[in-house]
Structure 1
Amino acid sequence: MGGAARAGAARTEALRRLAIGTLEANWEHDHTVPSRTLYPHQWSWDSAFIAVGLAHVRPDRAWRELRSLFAAQWADGRVPHIVFHPALPVGSYFPGPQFWASTVADGAPAVATSGIVQPPVHAPAAWLVHRRAPSEASVRQLRRLYPRLVAQQRYLTTRRDLGGGGLACLVHPWESGLDNSPAWDAPLAAVPADLAVMRAYRRHDTAQAAVAHRPTDLDYARYVALVGSYRRRAYVDADLTDRHPFLVECPLFNAALGAAEHALARIADVVGADPGPHRDRAARITRAVVDRLYDPVTGAFHPRDLRTGRLLPVRTVLGLLPLILPDLPPRQVDAVLAEACSPRFGLAARMARPLPSHDRTAPDFEPVRYWRGPAWLNIAWLLWQGLRLHRRPDLAAGLRESMVSTVATGGCHEYFHPDTSAGLGSAAFSGTAALLLDALAEE
């Protein structure tokens, strides 16, 4: 083995140890907290990403991660974006269980949760956990999870199809996973907000990270107002179009919805169910994503604001994620690749900088503020999956090396400076560690 090869092997082993140590330190009985500082509870899409990484080292924990999350599923099928740890003291996190008051809703679980959801990346995660470590035990786990995953999809494709076009609608920016993205600025501006309301709460995020790195108090006042609007309706989705001030169809969320149906078709094959309905729904969702969210003028995907009926013109990383749909038509595949490889995002076979979360060339690009510029490993990982699906090994290899190099420079942080790879947000972040393990496994 030559010197370069030895150095590469040593880097891989050091990063692997860092990732495993991070996940071990954040394990909490039956789930993994995203971080011990800012995120002390269980988060929905984080748990899916964490399960993908755990499959390489502790598949038993990967399945427990998913089971514990779905144990908090609501009767209507929704999987809440936060499941609160009952042992933590009141006030240890904002917005906490008292703020969400999930018990006001019929069909909420006994454990306290939030009332909103996150992108449905769980079925693909379950499939990957099985594929990474297939066994009779993993088939049993798939069989156990399958009806819950189906119920999650049913909720999103029926009760959340508020626009009537076959796509799920977000009722809060937090549901997108990209909480503070510039994509939401225009619809959020229409949300009535009283800054005085924030005096009643203590934000924990600004105690853990620089104020300049986090959403503003005005952003938070609007987030709080949106939760209040939904909570007053006991988290019932019927008639939201008449009353709720934020209703948006998101490219990432709905691409995840379609990808989940493809994963469920594979799972159905394994557990003895009929994969046909899943394939049919997947095809319908992909058509709806193209019909409703693709703009042939810009050659890009954009969120649709149901309040105005218009596509939101901001170009963020959200517009790249329909690439995770395996049946995305060639024209749109080419358009996404052109957007990703443009100076806005800088995807290349040899990347000089990490993939940003927002258009680098935009005047409102902020390299250190939450989701308004920084690089995130989970978004890069999703795009990496899409590049492999659509047979672009050159670009996939470049993005994978960028992911690994970013963590080698910045550590297992929550997110990273999009120019320097310096770590930002929470340190020892589980989602980053887990997806790093998955990327390293491809060497």
Structure 2
Amino acid sequence: MTPPTAPASAALRHLRDASVRVLLTNWTGGSTVPSGNLYPHQWSWDSAFIAIGLRHLSPRRAQRELETLFGAQWDDGRVPHIVFNPAIPLDAYFPSPDFWRSGTAGREAGAPRGIETSGLVQPPVHALAAWLVHEYDPQTSSRRGFLRRLYPRLTAWHDYLAVHRDLAGHGLAAVVHPWEPGMDNSPCWDTPLSRIVPAPASSFRRADLAHGAAADRPTDLDYGRYVRLAAGYRDRRYRDGGAPHPFAVEDPGFNALYIVSEHALASIAEALGEDPRPHRARARALTTALVERLWDPQAGMFLCHDIGTGTLIPERSVTGLLPLLVPGLPTGIAEALLRTVTGDHFGLGSTTALVPSYDLRGPAYDSARYWRGPAWFNVNWAIERGLRQYGAVPEADALKRAVLVSAGASGFAEYVDPRTGRARGTTDFSWTAAAVLDLLATTPEGTA
């Protein structure tokens, strides 16, 4: 693999202009869609990553992104993974609002009135995003009361995870559907999903295949299982505690982002004159649980835990590298993660310029198919940040260059082949553009 060459100053200015164009095009007036065709609504963790990039374009718009999302928060504290735009036809995306039925099935859990949402959640990146948005322009943030209004909502969101999603009783948040950790089609879910009887193909219509190649997307079999799980959760009225969960997994990436956002909540609390100690205590407890339950020294990384069987899932996914974001990991664990990300299984700096979403040597590796091998820009943004935190500065610098080069060359692709950089999925993808804007802000030539 030939390392990517850092773009020249003029190229970086062009890259910034192009990323701004993507975000302006995908802005709907209150939030940003991930993509104009494939994902025409607001997605939860997308909006968090988008806000992090948007702050360099418009701090107020970045604040609005998060405010719009939290305007759809449920009374139990959950932040739904999709907030639907009522102007979009039902057949433009599946599952659509008439599948989720949040206004009726979600009534007991406090789904908002007058706003249609899903009932699932996504990784809690939001407090981190809110803090970064505030830090970029604290004057505008304070004048608008941004943190003061969002803080209780963010706290309620984290309380929901602590109270309702600690399904194993050991402190970590569990996901109840492959869509919740965001890495929908990861091979980590193959074994838990194998226990799920798929919904009949005649019971749903895949709108995603109208905008993406079938080879890039989940199979019909997997999609049928996704539908069955989502319908079952809906029919149980989105109850968590005391309800049967045929799919329940503790995911290291989800919990790493939870920990990082809990640290961010501590910073937000301090800025508001509130007590940061409960947030720091929860972050410490979560970190301890993450290490005790999900660290596998033989794999040299964190693994997912299948609550149904009480066992670690042996698949190596990039989700197990995301704890590099967590401050204060034991030294031996941080060093092992750095070896793993640059080793044979992920190949960063040797066989790949970007971190793949799945083990290069794994039996299910597929460089094209959704979360089964391709590199994603939001994840590589997070890995770059984690590498830098643990002193791997040359590796972080090289990864930053690779993200910038690959994002521009691929037309801001949703994801790319980690070896060749070939675009996969859709293009003009919002969090790809947002990652570029954020990385450019710490690239001297990018500010020219």
* TM-score of the aligned structures, taking structure 2 as reference length: 0.94
Q: Which runs of 5 or more structure 2 residues have no equivalent in the other structure?
A: 444-448
Identify the structure with bigger relative contact order (alpha carbons < 8 Å, sequence gap 6+). Answer: 2
Deviation at 1:298?
2.3
Q: What residue number does 1:286 align with?
A: 287
In structure 2, the residue matched to 1:371 is 371
Structure 2 vs 1, CA of residues 347 and 171 (structure 1 numbering), >3 Å: closer, same or farther? same
Q: Alpha-carbon deviation of 1:296?
A: 2.3
- Counterpart CA distance in 1 for 2:314 and 2:6 is 47
Aligned to 1:45: 45
User: Which range moves more in the overlay, 283-292 or 401-410?
Assistant: 401-410
Q: Which residue of 2 aligns with 1:143?
A: 148
Q: Is the 8 Å Cα contact of residues 351 and 402 (structure 1) preserved in structure 2?
A: no
Map 1:79-158 onto structure 2 (within 5 A).
Answer: 79-103=79-103, 104-105=105-106, 106=108, 107-110=110-113, 111-138=115-142, 140-158=145-163
Q: Cα offset for 1:338?
A: 1.2
TM norm structure 1: 0.96
Indicate conservation of the 8 Å contact 2:410/2:427, yes or no.
no
Contact 1:161–1:169 (8 Å) recurs in 2: yes
Matches within 5 A, 1:235-384: 235-240=238-243, 243-348=244-349, 352-384=352-384
CA shift digits 1:342-369 (9 cap, x unpaired): 1211223x87532111111122210000
Cα 1:132–1:223 shift into 2, 3 Å: same
Distance 1:378 1:361 in 2: 23
8 A contact 1:176–1:253 mirrored in 2 = yes
Q: 1:7 to 1:93 in 2, by over 3 A?
A: closer
Matched residue type, 1:355: V
CA–CA separation in structure 2 for the residues paired with 1:142 and 1:317? 31
Q: Which residue of 2 aligns with 1:179?
A: 184
**Residue type matched to 1:36 in 2?**
G
Match of 1:165 among 151, 155, 170: 170
Distance 1:125 1:277 in 2: 20
Q: Which residue of 2 aligns with 1:13?
A: 13
Query: Which amino acid is 2:246 matched to?
Result: P
**What is the CA–CA distance in structure 2 between the aligned matches of 1:109 and 1:127, rounded to whole Å?**
25
Kindly indicate whether the alpha-carbon contact (under 8 Å) linking 2:91 and 2:207 is maintained by their aligned counterparts in 1.
Answer: no
CA 1:79 to 1:346, structure 2 compared with 1: closer, same or farther past 3 Å?
same
In structure 2, the CA distance between the partners of 1:84 and 1:296, relative to structure 1 (3 Å rule), is: same
Unmatched 5+ stretches in structure 1: none
- Report the Cα offset of residue 218 of structure 1: 0.5
1:216 aligned residue (216, 219, 231): 219
Q: 1:351, 1:398 within 8 Å by CA — same for their partners in 2?
A: no
Matched position secondary structure for 2:92: coil
Amino acid at match of 2:228: A
Q: Structure 1 residue 121: deviation in Å?
A: 0.3
* Alignment match, 1:59: 59
Using the TM superposition, give the Cα deviation of residue 138 of structure 1 relative to its aligned residue in structure 2, in angstroms.
Answer: 4.0
What SS does the aligned partner of 2:180 have?
Answer: helix
- Which amino acid in structure 2 is aligned with residue 174 of structure 1? W
Pairwise mapping of residues 356-435 of structure 1 onto structure 2 (< 5 A)? Answer: 356-435=356-435
CA distance in 1, matches of 2:128, 2:189: 26
SS, match of residue 184 in structure 1:
helix
> Residues of 1 paired with 2:406 and 2:351: CA distance?
11
What is the one-letter code of the residue matched to 1:238?
G
With 386-395 and 142-151 compared, the bigger mean Cα shift is at 386-395
Deviation at 1:198, TM superposition (A): 2.1
Aligned-partner residue type, residue 132 of structure 2: L
* Distance in 2 of aligned mates of 1:438 and 1:186: 37
Q: Hey, which bits of structure 1, 4+ residues long, moved more than 4 A? A: none
Residue 229 of structure 1: aligned partner: 232
Report if the CA contact (8 A) 1:264-1:275 is conserved.
yes
Amino acid aligned to 1:175: E
Contact kept? 2:346, 2:352, Cα under 8 Å = no
Superposition deviation, residue 423 in structure 1: 1.4
Distance 1:152 1:369, change over 3 A: same
Alpha carbons of 1:12 and 1:311: their partners in 2 closer, same or farther (altered >3 Å)? same
Amino acid at match of 2:134: H
1:200 positional shift: 2.7
Please report how far the alpha carbon of residue 91 of structure 1 lies from its aligned counterpart in structure 2 after TM superposition: 1.6
Identity across the alignment (%):
50
- CA separation in 2, counterparts of 1:361 and 1:316? 11
State the AA in 2 paired with 1:418.
P
What's 1:71 paired with? Answer: 71
